[in-house]
């Protein structure tokens, strides 16, 4: 994509301050069109009516303000090449980008998925390992934590299958130690 460059003092330039705001709208739209079409700031007469309603009358205001110059079969932005790259330079930049992207794609074709994924993931394609416990019983963020219960998904057969609880000697229910192994961090 090519950008149409506008000086950051454009808003306060005397030529701009003396110009009809609608004409300045045409100046911006035409600048975008010129940049997209790589015309080096030339706006053909036949394009004007398609850019903005009343563009033909507004163009004469831009010429009167010194922002455009009347040229054969159209208008030329004043000092376009002082602020914007030439069409040739932009074509060269785009060609270099296409070539660089094509070379990258060729390199990717010659690399198998495993090595690309390893580079992307920063590791191997093996099964993810479980992180080790944090030191001194801390959670991420540094807060002390209570012992964490680890759920074992197979039923041990010694407890209530639905609740995975056992009855303690005093009659209180508790999680089954075989189905819910206590794991303390640290």
State residue 54's pLDDT score.
Answer: 94
Q: Provide the token pair at 94.
A: 């785009």
Confidence band of 141 (pLDDT split at 50, 70, 90): low
Decide which of 122 and 85 is more confident. Answer: 85
CA nearest neighbour of 4 among 87, 96, 97: 87
Q: How large is the greatest C-alpha to C-alpha distance in the chain, in angstroms?
A: 103
Residue 148 · residue 98 · CB < 8 Å:
no
First and final C-alpha spacing in the chain: 55
Residue 86 · residue 40 · CB < 8 Å:
yes
Assess whether pLDDT exceeds 60 at residue 164: yes
Beta-strand ranges (E) seen in the chain are 42-44, 68-71, 74-77, 148-151, 165-167, 173-175, 180-183
């Amino acid at each position: 994509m090519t950008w149409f460059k506008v000086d950051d003092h454009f808003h306060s330039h005397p030529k701009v301050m003396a110009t009809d705001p609608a004409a300045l709208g045409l100046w911006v739209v035409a600048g975008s069109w010129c940049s997209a079409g790589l015309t080096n700031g030339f706006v053909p007469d036949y394009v004007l009516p398609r850019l903005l309603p009343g563009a033909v009358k507004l163009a004469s205001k831009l010429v009167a303000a010194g922002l455009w110059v009347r040229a054969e079969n159209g208008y030329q932005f004043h000092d376009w090449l002082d602020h914007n790259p030439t069409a040739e330079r932009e074509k060269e930049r785009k060609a270099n980008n296409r070539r660089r992207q094509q070379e990258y794609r060729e390199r990717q074709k010659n690399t198998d998925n495993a090595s690309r994924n390893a580079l992307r993931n920063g590791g191997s394609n093996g099964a993810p390992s479980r992180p080790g416990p944090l030191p001194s019983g801390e959670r991420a963020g540094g807060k002390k934590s209570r012992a964490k219960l680890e759920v074992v998904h197979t039923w041990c057969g010694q407890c209530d299958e639905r609740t995975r609880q056992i009855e303690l000697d005093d009659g209180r229910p508790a999680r089954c130690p075989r189905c819910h192994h206590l794991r303390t961090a640290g």
